[in-house]
Amino acid sequence: MQGLCARWSCCLLTAWLVLAGRAAADIYVYRDSRGVLHFSNAPAEPKYRFYRSEKDSWRAVRWTSWGRRYADPNRYKAYEAIVRDAAERHQVDVALVKAVIRAESDFVPDAVSPKGALGLMQLMPSTARRHGVIRVFDPRENVDGGVRHLRYLLDRFSGNLRLALAAYNAGEAAVERHGGIPPYPETWEYVARVLNFRDRYLRDRYAQRN
């Protein structure tokens, strides 16, 4: 009997250590009243929410209990009016704006990337400040700032969409320094992904009209 209890105790201890190891690999976040983000891998307060696994990208949030609400495909249409309004005001094609949001955050409004990009259009804090975005997780402000930035980049690169998208991902200085799309695999993949999403949205729009 003692041997059986010892074996059960060993199994329980092993399971606890495995679970503890998994928990230690997760990062949690909460935003205080001033808008400052706080991160912890050992949260001691319930206001912390799952942010991401240390081994995965922020997209892991969709598979947590907190993030299951983002598995709802209806979120892809939830910001239609906001996107259309910003696109029309800044004269950027709606399909392009949707494609950027899909590639950047997958339409998760409070997404935070490992590099610190925020919200639907994954604005870096410096980009948000440049375009006057104060409440960066507010969908309307975030999309307006992101579309305003897209308009700026399109103008800066004389309407060259590929260069504008590369600059959105890698920064305008990198595009200018390399005289084109920077030789970063991530940036090349990003440009191709956005254009692929844009083409899908254009096809859907054409199908709806015919």
Catalytic site residue 104? yes
Q: What are phi and psi of 72, to 5 degrees?
A: -75, 115
- The CA distances from residue 70 to 44, 48, 79, 197, in Å, are 25, 18, 14, 19
Q: How many other C-beta atoms lie within 10 A of the C-beta of residue 161?
A: 17
Active-site residue, from 45, 88, 104, 172:
104
- The CA distances from residue 50 to 65, 69, 88, in Å, are 9, 13, 35
- The CA distances from residue 178 to 122, 163, 172, 181, 187, in Å, are 24, 11, 10, 7, 13
What is the Cα–Cα distance from 19 to 208, expressed in whole angstroms?
49
Return the amino acid letter for 57: S
- Name the residues annotated as catalytic: 104
